[in-house]
Amino acid sequence: MPITVVGLFFGSAFLIGLVPGLGSFGHESTTEILKFLAIFGNGKPFSGILTLGLASSFVGALFDLFNNYRFQSLRE
């Protein structure tokens, strides 16, 4: 999920940068997104997006396990 959201923001910022007059805004946006991802990846944006993706998938799996345990009696 976060990979999709970050990719959507990054792609839209890149496309906005192609519009005449908004090039600097698009460039600054993509730079800031890469800086944000670099925070979670020890200076590497790709590692940051993998870290966020793995953390989100782990939390989602825990949520599914909790729901399975919590509503187990409803299936019987």
- The answer to whether the pTM exceeds 0.85 is no
Number of domains in the chain: 1
Inside any domain, residue 43: yes
DSSP one-letter string for 31-54: HHHHHHHHHHTTT-HHHHHHHHHH
CB neighbourhood size of 13 (10 A) = 19
Percent of the chain with pLDDT over 70: 91
Mean pLDDT of 44-72: 88
Inside any domain, residue 56: yes
pLDDT digits 0-9 by tens, 50-63:
998 899 899 999 99
- Per the structure, the complete domain to which residue 30 belongs is given by 2-68
- Residues 48 and 39 sit within 8 Å (Cβ to Cβ): yes
Inside any domain, residue 55: yes
